[in-house]
Amino acid sequence: MSRDPRELRSAWTTYQRHAYPQPSPDLAAYVQRYWIVTWDYAEPYRQLIVPYPVVHLTFLEGRATVNGVCSKHQVKVLKGCSGVFGVEFRPGCFRPFLDAAVSTITDRVIDAREVFGPWLPDPVDVPSVEAFLRAHLPEPDPRAQEVADIVVRVAAKPEITRVDELARSSGLSVRQLQRLFAEYVGIGPKWVIRRYRLHEVTERLAAGGEVDWADLACQLGYADQAHFTRDFKSMFGESPARYAERY
Protein backbone atom coordinates (compact mmCIF):
# COMPACT_ATOMS: atom_id res chain seq x y z
CA MET A 1 0.00 0.00 0.00
CA SER A 2 1.48 3.37 -1.04
CA ARG A 3 1.98 6.05 1.59
CA ASP A 4 1.79 9.80 1.59
CA PRO A 5 5.46 10.84 1.40
CA ARG A 6 4.71 13.73 3.76
CA GLU A 7 4.34 11.25 6.64
CA LEU A 8 7.73 9.57 6.08
CA ARG A 9 11.18 10.32 7.51
CA SER A 10 9.93 13.24 9.63
CA ALA A 11 8.83 15.17 6.53
CA TRP A 12 6.04 16.73 8.62
CA THR A 13 8.58 19.30 9.88
CA THR A 14 8.43 20.94 6.44
CA TYR A 15 4.70 21.61 6.78
CA GLN A 16 4.10 22.02 10.52
CA ARG A 17 5.46 24.06 13.42
CA HIS A 18 5.03 23.03 17.05
CA ALA A 19 5.58 25.04 20.25
CA TYR A 20 5.06 23.94 23.86
CA PRO A 21 4.91 26.90 26.30
CA GLN A 22 4.97 25.97 29.97
CA PRO A 23 2.23 27.10 32.38
CA SER A 24 2.75 29.77 35.01
CA PRO A 25 3.59 28.36 38.48
CA ASP A 26 0.12 29.05 39.86
CA LEU A 27 -1.46 26.90 37.14
CA ALA A 28 1.12 24.13 37.02
CA ALA A 29 -0.88 22.00 39.48
CA TYR A 30 -3.53 21.62 36.77
CA VAL A 31 -1.86 22.27 33.42
CA GLN A 32 0.91 20.06 32.05
CA ARG A 33 1.73 22.31 29.11
CA TYR A 34 0.25 24.38 26.31
CA TRP A 35 0.72 23.34 22.70
CA ILE A 36 0.52 25.44 19.59
CA VAL A 37 0.51 23.80 16.16
CA THR A 38 0.41 25.65 12.85
CA TRP A 39 0.37 24.04 9.40
CA ASP A 40 0.43 24.87 5.73
CA TYR A 41 -0.80 22.15 3.37
CA ALA A 42 -1.72 22.82 -0.24
CA GLU A 43 -3.32 19.35 -0.31
CA PRO A 44 -5.20 17.79 2.66
CA TYR A 45 -3.02 15.73 4.96
CA ARG A 46 -4.13 12.87 7.23
CA GLN A 47 -2.42 13.47 10.58
CA LEU A 48 -2.06 10.47 12.89
CA ILE A 49 -2.67 11.47 16.51
CA VAL A 50 -1.65 9.00 19.20
CA PRO A 51 -3.47 8.90 22.54
CA TYR A 52 -2.33 9.82 26.06
CA PRO A 53 -4.28 9.72 29.34
CA VAL A 54 -4.90 13.48 29.31
CA VAL A 55 -7.78 15.87 28.66
CA HIS A 56 -7.27 18.79 26.26
CA LEU A 57 -8.98 22.15 25.92
CA THR A 58 -8.51 23.28 22.31
CA PHE A 59 -9.16 26.48 20.41
CA LEU A 60 -9.54 26.14 16.66
CA GLU A 61 -11.11 28.54 14.16
CA GLY A 62 -13.23 30.36 16.71
CA ARG A 63 -14.44 27.23 18.49
CA ALA A 64 -13.36 25.87 21.88
CA THR A 65 -13.78 22.20 22.74
CA VAL A 66 -12.92 19.85 25.58
CA ASN A 67 -11.40 16.64 24.27
CA GLY A 68 -11.71 13.70 26.64
CA VAL A 69 -9.12 10.94 26.83
CA CYS A 70 -9.06 8.93 23.59
CA SER A 71 -8.77 5.19 24.01
CA LYS A 72 -7.04 4.73 20.65
CA HIS A 73 -5.43 6.65 17.81
CA GLN A 74 -7.24 9.26 15.74
CA VAL A 75 -6.73 10.71 12.29
CA LYS A 76 -7.29 14.44 11.75
CA VAL A 77 -7.34 15.98 8.29
CA LEU A 78 -5.22 19.14 8.09
CA LYS A 79 -5.64 21.45 5.14
CA GLY A 80 -4.78 24.97 4.10
CA CYS A 81 -2.93 27.38 6.37
CA SER A 82 -4.26 27.24 9.91
CA GLY A 83 -3.43 26.38 13.51
CA VAL A 84 -4.71 25.26 16.89
CA PHE A 85 -3.98 26.25 20.50
CA GLY A 86 -4.29 23.53 23.13
CA VAL A 87 -4.22 23.22 26.90
CA GLU A 88 -3.01 19.82 28.05
CA PHE A 89 -4.18 19.12 31.60
CA ARG A 90 -2.20 16.89 33.91
CA PRO A 91 -3.62 13.36 34.16
CA GLY A 92 -6.37 13.41 36.78
CA CYS A 93 -6.37 17.19 37.13
CA PHE A 94 -9.28 18.06 34.87
CA ARG A 95 -11.69 16.35 37.29
CA PRO A 96 -12.05 19.46 39.52
CA PHE A 97 -13.01 21.59 36.49
CA LEU A 98 -15.47 19.02 35.15
CA ASP A 99 -17.08 18.26 38.53
CA ALA A 100 -17.97 14.80 37.25
CA ALA A 101 -16.18 11.53 36.53
CA VAL A 102 -13.70 12.10 33.70
CA SER A 103 -14.79 8.76 32.23
CA THR A 104 -18.06 10.49 31.24
CA ILE A 105 -16.18 12.33 28.47
CA THR A 106 -13.80 9.56 27.39
CA ASP A 107 -13.72 9.27 23.59
CA ARG A 108 -15.89 12.39 23.39
CA VAL A 109 -15.45 15.99 22.27
CA ILE A 110 -17.77 18.50 23.95
CA ASP A 111 -18.31 22.23 23.62
CA ALA A 112 -16.08 24.00 26.17
CA ARG A 113 -19.02 26.20 27.19
CA GLU A 114 -20.61 23.14 28.81
CA VAL A 115 -17.76 23.19 31.34
CA PHE A 116 -16.57 26.80 31.46
CA GLY A 117 -19.64 28.84 30.56
CA PRO A 118 -20.18 31.24 27.65
CA TRP A 119 -17.12 33.50 28.01
CA LEU A 120 -14.03 32.43 26.04
CA PRO A 121 -10.58 34.05 25.82
CA ASP A 122 -9.94 36.56 23.07
CA PRO A 123 -7.35 36.68 21.64
CA VAL A 124 -6.28 33.05 22.05
CA ASP A 125 -2.74 33.27 23.35
CA VAL A 126 -0.97 32.16 26.52
CA PRO A 127 -1.73 35.28 28.65
CA SER A 128 -5.42 35.37 27.75
CA VAL A 129 -5.88 31.61 28.14
CA GLU A 130 -4.18 31.70 31.52
CA ALA A 131 -6.45 34.57 32.61
CA PHE A 132 -9.39 32.46 31.46
CA LEU A 133 -8.23 29.44 33.47
CA ARG A 134 -7.63 31.53 36.58
CA ALA A 135 -11.17 32.87 36.34
CA HIS A 136 -12.45 29.26 36.44
CA LEU A 137 -10.10 27.71 38.99
CA PRO A 138 -11.90 25.01 41.02
CA GLU A 139 -11.52 24.22 44.69
CA PRO A 140 -8.32 22.25 45.40
CA ASP A 141 -8.78 18.48 45.19
CA PRO A 142 -6.03 16.43 46.90
CA ARG A 143 -7.14 13.27 45.11
CA ALA A 144 -6.35 14.88 41.75
CA GLN A 145 -2.73 15.41 42.82
CA GLU A 146 -2.57 11.85 44.16
CA VAL A 147 -3.71 10.45 40.82
CA ALA A 148 -1.33 12.70 38.87
CA ASP A 149 1.55 11.37 41.00
CA ILE A 150 0.52 7.76 40.31
CA VAL A 151 0.53 8.38 36.54
CA VAL A 152 3.94 10.05 36.81
CA ARG A 153 5.19 6.91 38.55
CA VAL A 154 3.89 4.74 35.71
CA ALA A 155 5.65 6.92 33.13
CA ALA A 156 8.92 7.00 35.06
CA LYS A 157 9.21 3.31 36.00
CA PRO A 158 9.43 0.90 33.03
CA GLU A 159 9.36 -2.03 35.44
CA ILE A 160 5.68 -1.36 36.21
CA THR A 161 3.86 -3.60 33.74
CA ARG A 162 0.89 -4.86 35.77
CA VAL A 163 -2.08 -3.25 37.51
CA ASP A 164 -1.61 -5.24 40.73
CA GLU A 165 1.99 -3.97 40.96
CA LEU A 166 0.81 -0.38 40.57
CA ALA A 167 -2.01 -0.84 43.08
CA ARG A 168 0.35 -2.32 45.64
CA SER A 169 2.88 0.49 45.25
CA SER A 170 0.05 3.03 45.61
CA GLY A 171 -1.34 1.48 48.80
CA LEU A 172 -4.64 0.62 47.10
CA SER A 173 -6.51 -2.48 46.08
CA VAL A 174 -6.86 -3.15 42.36
CA ARG A 175 -10.56 -2.26 42.53
CA GLN A 176 -9.86 1.00 44.37
CA LEU A 177 -7.26 1.93 41.76
CA GLN A 178 -9.65 1.17 38.91
CA ARG A 179 -12.39 3.32 40.45
CA LEU A 180 -9.94 6.16 41.08
CA PHE A 181 -8.74 6.13 37.47
CA ALA A 182 -12.31 6.06 36.11
CA GLU A 183 -13.19 9.07 38.23
CA TYR A 184 -10.05 11.16 37.68
CA VAL A 185 -8.13 9.93 34.63
CA GLY A 186 -11.02 8.78 32.46
CA ILE A 187 -9.51 5.44 31.50
CA GLY A 188 -8.29 2.37 33.37
CA PRO A 189 -4.84 1.78 34.89
CA LYS A 190 -4.18 -1.19 32.58
CA TRP A 191 -4.55 1.10 29.54
CA VAL A 192 -2.31 3.76 31.12
CA ILE A 193 0.44 1.24 31.87
CA ARG A 194 0.28 -0.16 28.35
CA ARG A 195 0.34 3.33 26.83
CA TYR A 196 3.50 4.40 28.63
CA ARG A 197 5.29 1.13 27.91
CA LEU A 198 4.48 1.57 24.22
CA HIS A 199 5.61 5.19 24.47
CA GLU A 200 9.08 3.85 25.19
CA VAL A 201 8.90 2.07 21.82
CA THR A 202 8.10 5.28 19.94
CA GLU A 203 10.93 7.07 21.76
CA ARG A 204 13.39 4.43 20.54
CA LEU A 205 12.03 4.68 17.01
CA ALA A 206 12.37 8.46 17.02
CA ALA A 207 15.99 8.12 18.18
CA GLY A 208 16.79 5.89 15.19
CA GLY A 209 18.80 2.68 15.10
CA GLU A 210 17.89 -0.97 14.84
CA VAL A 211 15.27 -2.50 17.15
CA ASP A 212 15.16 -6.15 18.22
CA TRP A 213 11.38 -6.45 18.38
CA ALA A 214 11.28 -9.82 20.17
CA ASP A 215 13.68 -8.64 22.87
CA LEU A 216 11.84 -5.35 23.25
CA ALA A 217 8.50 -7.13 23.63
CA CYS A 218 10.01 -9.23 26.43
CA GLN A 219 11.42 -6.13 28.17
CA LEU A 220 7.97 -4.51 28.12
CA GLY A 221 6.32 -7.48 29.80
CA TYR A 222 4.68 -9.11 26.77
CA ALA A 223 4.46 -12.88 26.53
CA ASP A 224 5.65 -12.80 22.91
CA GLN A 225 6.20 -10.49 19.96
CA ALA A 226 2.77 -11.24 18.47
CA HIS A 227 0.97 -9.90 21.57
CA PHE A 228 3.16 -6.81 21.53
CA THR A 229 2.48 -6.17 17.83
CA ARG A 230 -1.29 -6.51 18.30
CA ASP A 231 -1.24 -4.07 21.22
CA PHE A 232 0.86 -1.59 19.28
CA LYS A 233 -1.38 -1.72 16.22
CA SER A 234 -4.49 -1.33 18.36
CA MET A 235 -3.05 1.80 19.99
CA PHE A 236 -1.34 3.42 16.99
CA GLY A 237 -3.29 2.11 14.04
CA GLU A 238 -0.32 0.51 12.31
CA SER A 239 2.40 -2.05 12.97
CA PRO A 240 5.66 -1.09 14.72
CA ALA A 241 7.61 -1.49 11.45
CA ARG A 242 5.19 0.72 9.53
CA TYR A 243 5.20 3.31 12.30
CA ALA A 244 9.02 3.30 12.28
CA GLU A 245 8.96 4.53 8.68
CA ARG A 246 7.70 7.88 9.99
CA TYR A 247 11.17 8.51 11.40
Nearby residues of 60 by Cβ (< 8 Å), 6 or more positions away: 82, 83, 84, 85
Nearby residues of 223 by Cβ (< 8 Å), 6 or more positions away: none
Domain closes at, from 105, 135, 165: 135
pLDDT at residue 125 greater than cutoff 70: yes
Residues 237 and 126 grouped into a single domain: no
Residues 203 and 100 grouped into a single domain: no
Beta bridge partners of 65: 58, 111
pLDDT digits (tens, 9 = 90+) for 68-105: 999 999 999 999 999 999 999 999 999 999 999 999 99
Residues 182 and 217 grouped into a single domain: yes
Residues 109 and 49 grouped into a single domain: yes
Domain closes at, from 86, 111, 135: 135
Q: Which pLDDT band holds residue 10 (cuts at 50, 70, 90)?
A: confident
Show the 3-state SS of 1-33. CCCCHHHCCCHHHHCEEEECCCCCHHHCCCEEE
Mean pLDDT of 181-196: 97
Choice among 13-17, 35-39, 46-50, 204-208 with the minimum mean pLDDT: 204-208
Residues 74 and 113 grouped into a single domain: yes
Residues 9 and 131 grouped into a single domain: yes
pLDDT at residue 163 greater than cutoff 80: yes
Residues 156 and 231 grouped into a single domain: yes
Mean pLDDT of 41-48: 94
Residues 122 and 162 grouped into a single domain: no
Question: What confidence score (pLDDT) does residue 1 get?
Answer: 58
How far is Cα 104 from Cα 88, in angstroms, rounded to an integer? 18
Residues 147 and 211 grouped into a single domain: yes
Whole-number mean pLDDT of the chain? Answer: 93
Residues 77 and 52 grouped into a single domain: yes
Residues 182 and 210 grouped into a single domain: yes
Question: What confidence score (pLDDT) does residue 202 get?
Answer: 83
Domain closes at, from 135, 165, 193: 135
For residue 191, the enclosing domain spans 142-244
pLDDT at residue 204 greater than cutoff 90: no
Q: How many CB atoms lie within 10 A of CB 12?
A: 17
How far is Cα 190 from Cα 160, in angstroms, rounded to an integer? 11
CA 200 to chain CA mean position, Å: 14
pTM over 0.85: yes
Q: Residue 36 carries which side chain, given as an amino acid letter?
A: I
pLDDT at residue 153 greater than cutoff 80: yes
pLDDT at residue 247 greater than cutoff 80: no
Mean pLDDT of 134-151: 97
Residues 194 and 216 grouped into a single domain: yes
Residue 196 belongs to domain with CATH number: 1.10.10.60
pLDDT at residue 22 greater than cutoff 70: yes
